A and B are shown apart, each in its own frame.
Chain A
Amino acid sequence: MALLEKYRELVDLARQYGATVSDEGNVLRVRGEVPSGALKDSMWEIYDRIDPNFKSNDLILDVNVNATEGGKVKVVTRESGDVITLISKANDQWWLVRDNDGEEGYCYSQYLEPVQ
């Protein structure tokens, strides 16, 4: 209850976009998919503002951007922001992608963001 109050701003935002929020007593868990990378980043910004440097160890924030298979994704770690194709999601962490030269491989999902 106290955690829901502490992270109220984040909880409200998460619920607005259909993410699930569960209070596990000593840890608050926020999970789900959000429509954009900007929204995901702003959730992390709120988290960092309420709990600077994520030091309280009382929140698990696990939100992904809902990229669709066959759609385009941007590589956020590249300054050029290469846009490549997401072929399939092997699991939550690793996604199979194809770059513009036709080369395929697995990429860490945290480094990819869908383009609308």
Chain B
Amino acid sequence: MKVFRLVSMLALILAVGVATTSCKKVKDADVQAAAQTALTANPDLAGVSVAVLDQVATLSGTVKDDASKAYAETTVTAVENVKSVVNNIEVVPPAPDFTAIDAALNSGLADALKDHATVKAEVKDGVVTLTGEIRKRDLQTLMEKVNALNPQQVVNNITVK
């Protein structure tokens, strides 16, 4: 009887011990969900996903700049039960938008080419491509006018007569 008591006591102690540790044990899935929610709250971090293993959060995906990458790390570090963060986010700068620049170039070119009927210009991504033909003595004047429009580059395919 005494032995049985001792065994059951031990069993109880063991059971309580296991129960308390399992209560304290943090579920990675919960941490991951919390971290992902924190990230999703910021539209700049829409391309970032997080995986949590043993309370270590690993960030992956892409953002537009270094500041966003650092901010994602700060955000996840602040999430409860995250021990450390491995930041594997890639910074991919967005392709620049040339729509406004091209429109400005096109309107400037209309004036610049007014006196050079034999020259044509095409604009793409800030680059002006010139074609057609021109007399040598008019070339500098034309180039001055086109360069003054602040293009990214001037591609000169004009035939000089």
**B140 contacts A48, C-beta separation under 8 Å:** yes
Does A27 sit within 8 A of B, measured CB to CB? yes
Flag whether A7 is at the interface (Cβ < 8 A).
no
**Count of A-B contacts with CB under 8 A?**
49
Find the A residue at minimum CB distance from B160.
Answer: A53
In the docked arrangement, what's the CA distance between A53 and B147, Å? 14
Report the interface size class on chain B: 20 to 34
* Cβ 8 A contact of B152, one of A27, A62, A64, A92: A27
A57 and B155: CB pair below 8 A? yes
In the complex the two chains form, is B139's CB within 8 Å of A53's CB?
yes
| Cβ contacts under 8 Å, A27 to chain B | 152-153
The smallest beta-carbon distance between B144 and chain A, in angstroms, is 5
Task: State in angstroms the CA–CA spacing of A27 and B127 once bound together.
Answer: 11
**Residues B147 and A61 in contact, CB atoms below 8 Å apart:** yes
A57 to chain B, nearest CB (A): 5
Q: A54-B143, A108-B111 are in contact. Are A92 and B148 (CB under 8 A)?
A: yes
A60–B108 touching, CB < 8 Å: no
Within 8 A of B (CB), among A65-116: 92-94, 108-110
How many residues of chain A are within 8 Å of chain B by beta carbon? 19
Interface pair B148/A54, CB less than 8 Å apart:
no
Let me know if A22 is at the binding interface, CB within 8 A. Answer: no
B80 to nearest A CB, angstroms? 46
Structural contact, A62 and B148, CB atoms closer than 8 A: yes
Q: Does B77 contact A (CB under 8 A)?
A: no
Given contacts A44-B140, A48-B140, A54-B139, contact A62 B147 (CB under 8 A): yes
- Give the CA-CA distance A110 to B141 in the complex, in Å: 8
Q: Is the CB of B108 within 8 A of A93?
A: yes
- Nearest B residue to A51 by beta-carbon distance? B156
Contact indicator B141/A60 (Cβ below 8 Å): no
Shortest Cβ distance from B151 into A: residue? A60
Question: A17-55: contact bitstring with B at CB < 8 Å (1 yes, 0 no)?
Answer: 000000000110000000000000000100010000111
- The answer for the CA separation of A54 and B136 in the assembled complex, in Å, is 11
Inter-chain contacts of A26 with B (CB < 8 A): 153
B 127-161 binary contact with A (CB < 8 Å = 1; else 0): 00000000010011101110111111111101010
Nearest Cβ on chain B to A19's Cβ, whole angstroms: 13
B156 in contact with A110 (CB, 8 Å): no
Min distance, Cβ A68 to any Cβ of chain B, angstroms: 19
Contacts of B158 in A (CB 8 A): 53
Interface residues of chain A, those whose CB is within 8 Å of chain B, are: 26-27, 44, 48, 53-55, 57-58, 60-62, 64, 92-94, 108-110
B interface residues, Cβ below 8 angstroms from A: 108, 111-112, 136, 139-141, 143-145, 147-156, 158, 160
